Amino acid sequence: MVGIRRKDVSLVRMLVEKESGNAGKRRENKKGKPEDRIQVNSDMLKAAVKCGAKEIVEYFTQEKGCIPDMQTLHMMMR
């Protein structure tokens, strides 16, 4: 939440994405998708929308597949 409030997408990525110990390569699950430290949720997305962190909103929705709830979607449309 601190990274979101600071609008620091690189900090948010670092905190969300898990790095493996093998030369900086990210560990992948059975489907070939990288595993994350935490699951991005709609509350995190809502916080990013509220503080105007557009890069983080795009990261959460496009790269992490977070689906906004109706209230957040309405805020995004403004």
Average pLDDT over the chain, rounded to whole? 87
CA distances in angstroms from 38 to 4, 12, 17, 32, 75, listed in the order given: 14, 11, 8, 17, 24
* Cα(36)–Cα(20) distance, integer angstroms: 10
Give the mean pLDDT of 32-41: 82
Give the mean pLDDT of 42-52: 97
* Cα(30)–Cα(18) distance, integer angstroms: 16
Q: Is a pLDDT exceeding 80 seen at residue 32?
A: no
Question: What are the residues whose beta carbons fall under 8 Å from the beta carbon of 33, sequence distance 6 or more?
Answer: none
Beta-carbon-side half-sphere exposure of residue 26 (alpha carbons within 13 Å): 13
Q: What is residue 18's predicted lDDT score, i.e. its pLDDT?
A: 87
pTM (2 d.p.):
0.80
Give the mean pLDDT of 16-43: 72
